[in-house]
Amino acid sequence: MIDKELLEILACPKCKANVKLEGEKIICTNPQCGLRYPIRDGIPVMLIDEAEKPPDK
C-alpha cells in the first residue's frame, strides 16, 4: 500500500500532473496523458518506459 503523503508528492514524470492510486497502479490524472505506472514490492515505478498507456475508450 502506498502512503497518502507519498502519493501527494508524486507527479507524472511525463506531464507533471497529479497522480492517484487505482488498484495496483499509479494513474496520471491528466486525461491527455493517463499513463499507468506499476507498483512493485510496494514501490511505485515512476519511469515512462515502464508505464502502460491508458486503455482506448
pLDDT value for 39: 95
pLDDT value for 43: 92
Mean pLDDT of 9-21: 97
**What global pTM score does this model have?**
0.89
Q: List the domains of the chain with CATH numbers.
A: 4-50 (2.20.25.10)
Strand partners, 52: 36
pLDDT digits (tens, 9 = 90+) for 16-46: 999 999 999 999 999 999 999 999 999 999 9
| Confidence label for 3 from pLDDT (cuts 50, 70 and 90) | confident
Longest Cα–Cα distance in the chain: 31
Edge-to-edge strand order for the sheet containing 43-44?
19-22, 25-28, 36-40, 43-44
